[in-house]
Chain A
Amino acid sequence: MKRHIKRFFFYPPGESVVAMFGILFVTALIFIVILGDNIREAIWLIPHDRIKPFSDILNGRLAGFWVYAAACLAIVVRNYRSFAAQSRSNYVMKRTKSGFEIHRMCLTVPVIGLIAGLLLTYLVALGYQEEYTRIFSSFPIPAEYYDFNFWRALI
């Protein structure tokens, strides 16, 4: 597998794909999963006579995703800079047949990471909606209270 990844160089030669995913994993863990836990807290702390719609509870509570997105962007910048650091290997890249090659190397890992992070954030929000539904389904609240507006979690 390592040979396979290396052969197609989905990342700049000499850069560590393990380190890149490691950074993304730790950032995701801190800013999406752990900080996202305050949604659970919010759900449990709602007084049952003043239940809020789920979207209101979400209200930017997973905005930590943007820190994660910034980490992805930092990796993109680092990847591009690696072709001009210590040597000008971008001169070699400019001679390769496909002009997209350097972008493929610089973008693949962070873009995969970004999509995976977005999916993780979505799943975290979805999990809390499940919890909200489980807790409040026996209460007489309007159906729209259960509406799931993912973007409310991010902004």
Chain B
Amino acid sequence: MIQIKNLTKKYGSTVALDRLDLEIHPGEIIGLFGPNGAGKTTLIKSIFGFVNYQGSITLDGEPITRKNIARMSFGTCEHSFFPGINANDHAEFYRDHFQSFDERRFAVLMDFFDLPRNKKIKHMSTGQQNQFEVIMALSQGSDYIFLDEPFAGNDIFNREDFYKVLLGMLGPDETLLLSTHLIEEVSGLVSRAVLLDKGKIIGDKQIAELDSENAGLIDYIKDAYSYKADRVFQALEQLSPEGE
């Protein structure tokens, strides 16, 4: 279990994460939602120790260090592959550096996305690069997989099929935390929704709970963010000649 206690991160005077508490349990598929600047990426980067923070983050009670960090993988829209080498060389690198690299999953996903094995990643299209980024995060053989806006720029057909493959592929103890704006698309995939706003968790709900309440994920999110349904109407009204 990943346990986050009292996590605070400041960039100068801006508070990106504000005394945040969160537990991530094995086997969960978590959707991390929030508007731009809510702190989603900062939260993930803090878990990996890519940024300095105040508070405590532990993995099964231990601080996250070189000893256990390989139990987590990270796919990001910033990309973290090696642009100058091809997919086969990536597999070789991961084989050498990550003991539990999942060769089979790598091969299946490469075929699923129909990605070239001998092309340098920097020569692939942005969509293919996104797919490759996700493949490496899923194939590292980690217990906790973090994906931060992984499909920005990918077409909907690829994404929908991929979610299906992902659901069938993840083991019972594998944990996925998916940070995305594509709420509707992932609503059938996630088992828990965590909502962030201005560095704070403003909602945390199991999808099963929502189902039992006959509530949808989108409505839950709109409610949590106090979404004003009439704001479009108001804006248009102000723009109309009568509104002047």
A95 to B47, CA, bound (A): 12
Q: For A9, list chain B residues within 8 Å (CB).
A: 93, 96
**B82 contacts A89, C-beta separation under 8 Å:** yes
- Give the residue of B85, B98, B140 whose beta carbon is less than 8 angstroms from that of A14: B85
Give a binary string over A60-72; 1 marks a CB under 8 Å from any B CB, 0 the rest: 0000000000000
| Beta-carbon nearest neighbor of B142 in chain A | A95
The verdict on A88 contacting chain B, using a C-beta distance below 8 Å, is yes
The verdict on B83 contacting chain A, using a C-beta distance below 8 Å, is yes
Contact residues of A between 1 and 51, Cβ < 8 Å to B: 6-7, 9, 12-15
| Beta-carbon nearest neighbor of A87 in chain B | B79
The secondary structure that dominates the A interface is loop
**A89 contacts B80, C-beta separation under 8 Å:** yes
Give a binary string over A69-97; 1 marks a CB under 8 Å from any B CB, 0 the rest: 00000000000001001111111101111
**B85 contacts A13, C-beta separation under 8 Å:** yes
Contact residues of A between 88 and 121, Cβ < 8 Å to B: 88-92, 94-99, 101
Give a binary string over B74-88; 1 marks a CB under 8 Å from any A CB, 0 the rest: 101011111111000
Q: With contacts A87-B80, A89-B82, A99-B66 known, is A14 near B74, CB below 8 A?
A: no
Q: For A97, list chain B residues within 8 Å (CB).
A: 66-67, 70, 97
Most buried by B among A86, A92, A101: A92
**B70 contacts A88, C-beta separation under 8 Å:** no
How distant is A15 from chain B, measured CB to nearest CB, in Å? 7
Interface size on A, residues (CB 8 A): 23
**A95 contacts B83, C-beta separation under 8 Å:** no
| Beta-carbon nearest neighbor of A98 in chain B | B66
**A91 contacts B97, C-beta separation under 8 Å:** no
**A91 contacts B76, C-beta separation under 8 Å:** yes
The verdict on B72 contacting chain A, using a C-beta distance below 8 Å, is yes
Q: For A98, list chain B residues within 8 Å (CB).
A: 66
**B78 contacts A88, C-beta separation under 8 Å:** yes
**B83 contacts A7, C-beta separation under 8 Å:** no
**B70 contacts A89, C-beta separation under 8 Å:** no
How distant is A81 from chain B, measured CB to nearest CB, in Å? 13
How distant is B134 from chain A, measured CB to nearest CB, in Å? 14
How distant is A66 from chain B, measured CB to nearest CB, in Å? 30
Q: For B82, list chain A residues within 8 Å (CB).
A: 12-14, 87, 89, 92
The verdict on B92 contacting chain A, using a C-beta distance below 8 Å, is yes
| Beta-carbon nearest neighbor of A89 in chain B | B82
Q: For B69, list chain A residues within 8 Å (CB).
A: 94-95
The verdict on B49 contacting chain A, using a C-beta distance below 8 Å, is yes
A35 to B157, CA, bound (A): 64
A92 to B83, CA, bound (A): 13
A88 to B120, CA, bound (A): 16
How distant is B140 from chain A, measured CB to nearest CB, in Å? 8
A110 to B72, CA, bound (A): 32
**A88 contacts B80, C-beta separation under 8 Å:** yes
A3 to B84, CA, bound (A): 16
| Beta-carbon nearest neighbor of B86 in chain A | A14
Could you list some 20 contacts between A and B, CB below 8 A?
A: A6-B92, A9-B93, A13-B84, A14-B84, A86-B122, A87-B78, A88-B76, A88-B78, A88-B80, A89-B81, A89-B82, A91-B80, A92-B136, A94-B49, A94-B69, A95-B70, A95-B74, A95-B140, A98-B66, A99-B66
B contacts, CB < 8 Å to A: 48-50, 66-67, 69-70, 72-74, 76, 78-85, 89, 92-93, 96-98, 120, 122, 136, 140
14 A-B pairs besides A14-B85, A88-B80, A97-B70 with CB distance below 8 A are A6-B92, A13-B82, A13-B93, A85-B83, A86-B122, A87-B78, A87-B79, A87-B82, A87-B83, A91-B48, A91-B50, A94-B48, A95-B73, A96-B70
